[in-house]
A and B are shown apart, each in its own frame.
Chain A
Amino acid sequence: MSFPDAHLNIAPYLAGDLSPEDRALFEAQLAADPNLRAELDDLRGLWESLGLLTAHDEHPSAALRARFYQRLNSLTRPEPTPSRFRFPTFALQFAGGFALLLIGLSLGRVAAPSSELAQLRAEVRGMRETVALSLLDRSSATARLQGVSYGQNWKDDSDRPGREITTALLSTLNHDSNVNVRLSSVDALQKFADDPAIRTALADALPIQDSPLVQISLIDALVQLHDTDALTQLRPLSLDPHANVNVRQRAKWALQKLQAN
């Protein structure tokens, strides 16, 4: 006995997308039609093999989340209170100072000896760090986000912020009340991950975070850094019944990734 359109229900049957009534009817058709059963068996193998394809296990880089939140924060930043007199913002004032200093550097390149140039660069770096530390201490989450951003925007070792900045970023990661600020600090700290102490601190932050978003961001960062020392923190997290289910799953995925390396 054959049923003309029954084969069209093979895929929804395999996907679990038939209503209970349609499922019962299809199974009755299967019992009565050996050709239908053979086609189901054939396509079932293919359907299950599709599950072996790894594209559906792919994860985006941590940069996707960081860029998304930076863009979202720029949209949700409150408008400044309109005032009759326009005063520069705190950051604008320092930006103006930087600009003057950079002009000085450019002019200095022409005439100044290299030692004076190095001193000017150190002063610029010092000013940037002062701005970052000041912003990280502000009550506004937007200002703290700017502080994190200042802390991570450096081009080479001569520009690299000092330990005071990394300490402040770690403190932000572990204690800031705003999730978005903590997420941004994860991305900022990755830039310092050549320092083993920073990598250790990122892994140590895992169990003390209460935000699943931050935990997942930390896990992604540790995988990207190929930090196998993080296995110590990931194993208990993957088994912790009190942890968010998505965090547990991501920890398990991270364990597989790091152990495969």
Chain B
Amino acid sequence: MSLIQAGDTAQLALLFERHHLALFRYLLHFTRNRAVTEDLVQDVFFRVLKYAATFDSAHSFKTWLYQLARNAHFDAIRKRRPEADPDLLATYRSADPMPEELFSRKQDVRLLQRALASLPEDKRDVLLLSRFHDMRYEDIATLLQCEVGAVKVRVHRALRQLRENFSSLSTERKTL
């Protein structure tokens, strides 16, 4: 980042190669749309150039990058018409099917995905950051501008709600 801040924009390529895959997977959980996610990922990296001067090297680059990603995602949502706000369950149903043939418990995986998608965005966010993006609680706290204790509370509540949602969906499936 120091090289980019000094004007060497070509170094953005190195950051792209290191981080674009994880960023793609993080944003995909929100958008549930590959094309939209690819556009967002590209947008995020060029925001790195645009806002390079605001990066403080005393803090984690990954945290800053994810903050840019969240802002890009929120900006994209605001640009959509109100009636187009995503119903995440509906988006999941219309999304490309997961390659579930790789897993023996196909239905449970699908239900778990639905249970995760139906969490409120703030709970899903902390869970994804902690579970899939190897982000430490301190960094999540910086990203969300709260205390580490608050992150612990949110993650725990997210897990418990996920468990409730999953149980509820499992029960619903059995009664059909």
Contact = CB atoms under 8 A, between A and B. Distances in A.
Given A64-B38, A72-B13, A58 B24 contact: yes
Given A42-B163, A72-B9, A55 B152 contact: no
B21 A59 contact: yes
Interface residues of B, number: 48
Query: By DSSP majority rule, is chain B's interface helix, strand, loop, or mixed?
Result: helix
A260 B102 contact: yes
A60 B49 contact: no
B12 A58 contact: no
Interface residues of A, number: 37
A53 B10 contact: no
A208 to B, nearest CB: 20
B108 A75 contact: no
Contact of B10 (A59, A64, A72): A72
Interface string B18-53: 001100110011000010011001100110010000
A60 B99 contact: no
| 10 closest A-B pairs by CB | A8-B152, A11-B155, A64-B38, A54-B98, A60-B24, A56-B132, A76-B10, A56-B25, A60-B38, A8-B156
19 contacts: A10-B159, A11-B155, A11-B159, A12-B130, A12-B152, A17-B137, A49-B112, A52-B103, A53-B116, A55-B25, A58-B24, A60-B37, A64-B38, A68-B16, A71-B42, A72-B9, A72-B10, A72-B12, A75-B9
Interface of B: 9-10, 12-13, 16-17, 20-21, 24-25, 28-29, 34, 37-38, 41-42, 45-46, 49, 98-103, 105, 108-109, 112-113, 116, 127, 130-132, 136-137, 149, 152-153, 155-156, 159-160, 162-163, 166
